[in-house]
Amino acid sequence: MNTKNFAIVALLLVAVSCLENSQSCQDLIAEIVKKAKEKDFSAIPLESIMFSGITSNTLGQRHECEMKKGPSKFSFFLVSWKNTTNGMDLFTGLCVPQQC
């Protein structure tokens, strides 16, 4: 798994685990983890890949995430953390399914 794909999966999992989980969200997380172990990222919603920040300190595309048309709705979150190695504050934007 390359660094970019790993970062997307890891950040999505952190974001959705911090939120109130419904059964459908837990199923989505389980499917993403299973597929990621197989190096298959097809379980990650395309909107999450397209509209989330790709690396740390990248906001992503909030407007496109929240205004997406179609049956599935998405929410946008700004997630921050501290790099304990160098003490830097980091952030990224995440577009996750609304049920999460």
Average pLDDT of span 24-35: 75
Per-residue pLDDT tens over the stretch 42-68:
777 888 888 888 888 888 899 999 998
Average pLDDT of span 15-31: 66
Closest C-alpha to 99, from 19, 41, 30, 8: 19
Q: Which domain holds residue 73?
A: 3-97
pLDDT at 20 over 60: no
* pLDDT for 59: 86
Q: Are 85 and 68 spatial neighbours (Cβ–Cβ below 8 Å)?
A: no
Residue 52 burial (CB count, 10 A): 28
Which helix (H) or strand (E) is 66 found in, with range? helix 62-66
User: If pLDDT is split at 50, 70 and 90, which confidence band does 19 have?
Assistant: low
Could you give the number of structural domains in the chain?
1
pLDDT at 5 over 80: no
Q: Residue 35 — φ and ψ, nearest 5°?
A: -65, -35
In sequence order, what are the residues at sequence separation of 6 or more whose Cβ sits closer than 8 angstroms to the Cβ of residue 24? Answer: 99
Residue 64 burial (CB count, 10 A): 14
